[in-house]
Amino acid sequence: MVDSLVKRLEDCSSGYQMHNGICYKAFNTPKNFRDASSTCAADGGTLAMPKDASTNAFLLSLKNAVHSSGFFWFGLVDQHQEGGWEWIDGTPSGATGHGARENRTTLAMRTALSSPRRHGTMCRCPDGYVYHQPSRQCYKAFNQQKTYDAAAATCASDGGTLAMPRDTATNKFLIYLKNAVDNNALFRIGLTDHRQEGGWMWDDNVALGSFRAWGPGEPNNAGNEDCGEYFSGSRGWNDGPCTRADRNFICQVTPIGCPSGYQQHGRNCFKAFNEKKSYDEAAAACRAGGGSLAMPRDQATHQFLITLKNQVDRAAGFWLGFNDRSQEGGWRYSDGTRLGSFQPWSPGEPNQYGGNEDCGMIFQDPKNKWNDQGCSSKQKFICQISLQVTDSCGGNLPGSSGVFISPGYPQTYSDNQECRWFIDVPPGHVARLDFLDFDIESHFDHVTVLDGCNNKQLAKFTGTNRPPAVSSSGRTLEVVFATDHSVQERGFKARYYPVVSSEKRETADPQEEELGEADPQEEEPGEPGPKEEDLGEPDRSADEEILQRALGMLENELRGEEKLEYGMEE
């Protein structure tokens, strides 16, 4: 059997071989088409789709190495219309003829997505999800029965929503995906009319468009049926009850990626750094990369960080992102939130040894527990970058850090829209905005950044050059994306996060912050890290940032690149 699985990977494993950025594997186990599909789905992919001559030739050599005279399944079907052959991702094949309807041994390939790195980032799907190239989304069909709300909560815990098949290709792909898991089950999707009967809305609050794949006679609201679902098999959509815990479900996640060197765990990326810095220097280094010191809030994350740090240096301690500088014993994470019930302190810790241990770290192996340590001592450190992504057209962005994208990114945004996002960070911090990708129609579509304190315009961007970072003067920032009536581009992706305010540093009030002056600390006997003064440099002043932006603009002009429009006001 040759099963082909689609999955974004940095390399191929488990016997798979790479071809044009895609990993393939031929299995010599006879299965029928549905069982072969299920095998692929369980491994996070699909049957192979040889869409060009080069790939087809590669697969022939791959299958012949396993069984030269055998027949192998691949991902081409005419299940929706006899003779209308389509790839299982829902795209047309252009093929005609017969011969793929018999059950045979299967050539199974597992394909990693062929998209290249962008800005040092490798995009990937969460474990168990399958990437769908036409919609540029990750999907997973769950073989679990839940109510609509419980299913939506499961998807949200993976950083996504219930699946929203808005077009024919995506719909056909999800039918294939769910049938590979359970051909006889009902599967929930992210579609409801609970606000107004007959007013069907996707879970991102967008009204159901012209594409509608309802089954015959549906929706019929037979007994208060307000939630969308797939019938079993390939019979289309049905309106079903929301509160019955007897439906499977499909989740959808926007593929996001960790910067180079980082590893993903849950909705965050982490990296253990093999260099020693004071707490403030380490926090500044993490912020420079768009993140913060790591904030483990549960046992699973804590264990992940133990493995990560021990791969770098088992004998060293590492800074984590929590401190009690604002109030002795009042431990808070770097984002200003208090420590919860999960606090894996080493026995006898925190002990405030020497009277001034205000910063959190994790001991070396085999202790691997938390310790309070003098903030000016030099330790290795672990950084964390959030992967939380918001793709709605405006609204209050969740938390104090995360990622948001223009609606439709990375495909194209819509005409005639105005989206307003609001960012709010903890007291004592300012909001910082970094653009990770930027591609909008030059001169006619704009992204405007406003200071939330006084609504003053801080910057206005257009075109394809990636803008510089922008910081608010207070805790809030507003981002406005406005498009005209024509020409759609890819859009933008931006990261927001808190940075300690310069005002706060000047008053030397360390409440809820990562930066601040730290006095020399006496080391606790047996704890890692020598006693050293804090050598961290202060953050750049606002004037220095403006100068750097101006120099960047001048450099762009000298290079002859497309000029950015800046709406900077003094």
Query: For residue range 146-180, what is the model confidence (pLDDT) as tens digits?
Result: 999 999 999 887 778 899 999 998 999 999 899 98
Cα 330 from Cα 326, distance rounded (Å): 7
Instruction: Dihedral sign for Cα 296, 300, 303, 308, please.
Output: negative
Chain mean pLDDT for the chain: 77
Using one digit for the tens of pLDDT, what is the confidence trace for 227-273?
Answer: 999 999 887 999 999 999 999 999 998 766 677 688 888 778 899 99
pLDDT of residue 459: 95
Give yes or no for residue 417 having a pLDDT over 90: no
Cα 163 from Cα 178, distance rounded (Å): 11
Phi–psi pair at 304, nearest 5 degrees: -60, -40
Give yes or no for residue 106 having a pLDDT over 80: no
If you compute the radius of gyration of the chain from its CA atoms, what whole number of angstroms results? 26
Place of tokens 């953050």: 539
Q: How confident is the model at residue 56 (pLDDT cuts 50, 70, 90)?
A: confident
Of 287, 259, 260, which Cα lies nearest the Cα of 537? 287
**Which of the two residues, 8 and 53, has the higher pLDDT score?**
53
Q: Are 248 and 148 in contact (CB under 8 A)?
A: no
Burial of residue 217 (CB within 10 Å: 0-12, 13-18, 19+) is: exposed
Q: Are 31 and 39 in contact (CB under 8 A)?
A: yes
pLDDT of residue 568: 35
Using one digit for the tens of pLDDT, what is the confidence trace for 324-378?
Answer: 998 999 999 998 889 999 999 999 999 988 888 999 999 999 999 999 999 999 9
HEC profile of 12-30: CCCCCEEECCEEECCCCCE
Q: What is the mean pLDDT of residues 294-314?
A: 94
- H or E stretch including 557? helix 542-558
Q: Are 468 and 549 in contact (CB under 8 A)?
A: yes
Place of tokens 């984590």: 320
Q: Which domains does the chain have, with CATH numbers?
A: 2-114 (3.10.100.10), 130-253 (3.10.100.10), 389-503+549-558 (2.60.120.290)
Q: How confident is the model at residue 200 (pLDDT cuts 50, 70, 90)?
A: very high
pLDDT of residue 380: 97
Lookup: tokens for 366: 């085999």
Lookup: tokens for 448: 């405007």
Give yes or no for residue 288 having a pLDDT over 80: no
Share above pLDDT 90 across residues of the chain, in percent, rounded to a whole number? 38
In this structure, the strands spanning 247-253 and 470-471 are unpaired
pLDDT of residue 257: 65
Q: What is the mean pLDDT of residues 382-395?
A: 81
Using one digit for the tens of pLDDT, what is the confidence trace for 485-540?
Answer: 887 788 998 988 887 776 533 323 332 233 222 333 333 433 444 333 332 333 34
Phi–psi pair at 201, nearest 5 degrees: -130, 140
pLDDT of residue 313: 95
pLDDT of residue 27: 77
Q: Could you give the angle at the alpha carbon of 324 between the alpha carbons of 516 and 310, nearest 5°?
A: 90
Instruction: Dihedral sign for Cα 227, 229, 231, 232, please.
Output: negative
Cα 292 from Cα 335, distance rounded (Å): 8
Which residues neighbour 102 within 8 Å (Cβ) at sequence distance 6 or greater? 71
Q: Are 199 and 192 in contact (CB under 8 A)?
A: no
> What's 60's DSSP letter?
H
pLDDT of residue 350: 95
Share above pLDDT 70 across residues of the chain, in percent, rounded to a whole number? 75
Instruction: Dihedral sign for Cα 162, 164, 168, 170, please.
Output: negative
Using one digit for the tens of pLDDT, what is the confidence trace for 5-14?
Answer: 333 333 455 6
Measured CA distances, 10 to 201, 261, 398, 498 (Å): 37, 12, 30, 31
Of 338, 256, 325, 329, which Cα lies nearest the Cα of 297? 338
Neighbouring-strand partners of residue 418: 482
pLDDT of residue 118: 27
Burial of residue 485 (CB within 10 Å: 0-12, 13-18, 19+) is: exposed
**Which of the two residues, 59 and 238, has the higher pLDDT score?**
238
Burial of residue 3 (CB within 10 Å: 0-12, 13-18, 19+) is: buried
Cα 406 from Cα 401, distance rounded (Å): 17
pLDDT of residue 79: 67
Cα 79 from Cα 552, distance rounded (Å): 56
